[in-house]
Chain A
């Protein structure tokens, strides 16, 4: 019985990871020219003012088709951790980013700066409850409080010594994506809530995590997806959980 209850918690937490993570990824994907889709308001603002705020680009990501997500890659490591690789430009060439890069080079030198800025991570899940998005300085701590209660705690960070516009970028993302009035997480949190209800019902004994199972590449215990919407991160998470559960036997 206790096993079943824990399974419910773990499944609920994990599903929330994936839905929350999905939202974050959707936002930034618009920088990828292949999948760019403009929102109506963004077009109007651009027509009127010549340009639109970066936030509007984030939001336009909502309209991405599923096929765009299939082009992304997740890398799944032992112990349940996983990374969504950068699919937007890791080195944006706008004036704000270039200024930041120049400051980084002064501080760390050319080689170390390149090492830092070329780190191929868009979003990372640290087993079991951290969801971190380094490029936009966002962190989510997903804290299970009880079998039917989960607290999602949102953080954003100011990079020490970085120019104010870099913080404004993180703040804009936080206001639209992670604040209590989020236009992005709203659907994900709603899904999470419905999953809670579904898992606590008698509706079904099994939760399917089989999407694209057997179609990922595995080398030395690291699973790399070929299709971005593979549920490899969930399978990876549950594998770690299972390992911990049987470790004491």
Chain B
């Protein structure tokens, strides 16, 4: 349950309606750099820095199904505001969370970055991208892939995530082990 207002509904990417917004080149570059930094923070297990990418009312959301437009009142794989993200971080780092003691790591690659909308006045952006993530845990590798949509708000010190929607192509499959960190 969120302690912030639920984000406005957001549909999964629709390739047929894909149009790149008109925006200055540096906006495209800044957004790409932001997404690369996000991937680096996740792979580097810099959990607090990752959480700090989110606006105070920002939400990380991984729907259970691509047709969902909200996690409010519907089951999701993740649906977390900064408070729940902080609880998750503390759990991962807790010395007695034995399952997380096993050495594990990930590698994200983010690409196909398209600006869907750009508001010249506020600087806010909606962008979509694709990711591949390989996780190695104990003696097994797992591969997750899918799309991100980010609603980014522009502040004095750069972008902050208002909503990150993560649609994994294998999100509806069986999980050999559960997901413990954000994808």
How large, as a class, is the contact surface on chain B?
20 to 34
* Contact across chains for B174 and A156 when beta carbons are under 8 A apart: no
Which of B12-20, B77-85, B125-133, B147-155 contacts the other chain? B77-85
Looking at the assembled complex, report how far the CB atom of B117 sits from the nearest CB atom of chain A, in whole angstroms. Answer: 29
Q: Which residues of A contact B (CB under 8 A)?
A: 39-41, 44-45, 49, 52-56, 59, 62, 151, 156, 164, 167-168, 171-172, 174-176, 179-183, 185-187, 189-191, 193
Nearest 4 A/B pairs, CB to CB: A190-B99, A53-B1, A172-B1, A187-B99
Known: A49-B3, A171-B73. Contact between A151 and B83, CB under 8 A?
no
Please, could you name 11 A-B residue pairs with CB atoms under 8 Å apart, sorted by A?
A: A39-B90, A164-B73, A171-B73, A171-B74, A175-B75, A175-B76, A175-B79, A181-B62, A187-B97, A187-B98, A189-B177
Given A41-B90, A53-B3, A190-B99, the answer on whether A185 and B178 have CB atoms closer than 8 Å is yes
A168–B99 Cα distance when bound, in Å, is: 29
A39-B87, A53-B1 known; A171+B75 contact, CB < 8 A: yes
| Residues 43-85 of chain B, each 1 if its beta carbon lies under 8 Å from chain A, else 0 | 0000000000000000000101000000001111111000110
Contacts of A167 in B (CB 8 A): 73
> Is B177 touching A193 in the complex (CB atoms < 8 A)?
yes
B91 interface contact, C-beta 8 A:
yes
Chain B residues with Cβ below 8 Å from A189 are: 99, 177-178
Question: Is the Cβ of A174 less than 8 Å from the Cβ of B75?
Answer: yes
Which residues of B (91-118) have their CB < 8 Å from a CB of A?
91, 97-100, 102
**Across the interface, which residues of A come within 8 angstroms of B83, CB to CB?**
41, 44-45
A residues in contact with B178, CB < 8 Å: 180-182, 185-186, 189
A40 to B83, CA, bound (A): 10
Q: Can you name the residue of chain A whose Cβ is closest to the Cβ of B179?
A: A181
Question: CA of A107 to CA of B74 in the docked complex: distance in angstroms?
Answer: 27
- How near does chain B come to A135, taking the closest CB pair, in angstroms? 17
Q: Are B1 and A186 in contact (CB under 8 A)?
A: no
**With a CB–CB cut-off of 8 A, which chain A residues contact B102?**
190
- Residue with the greatest number of chain B CB neighbours at <10 A, chosen from A40, A175, A191: A175
Residue in B1, B77, B86 whose beta carbon sits within 8 Å of that of A41 in the complex: B86
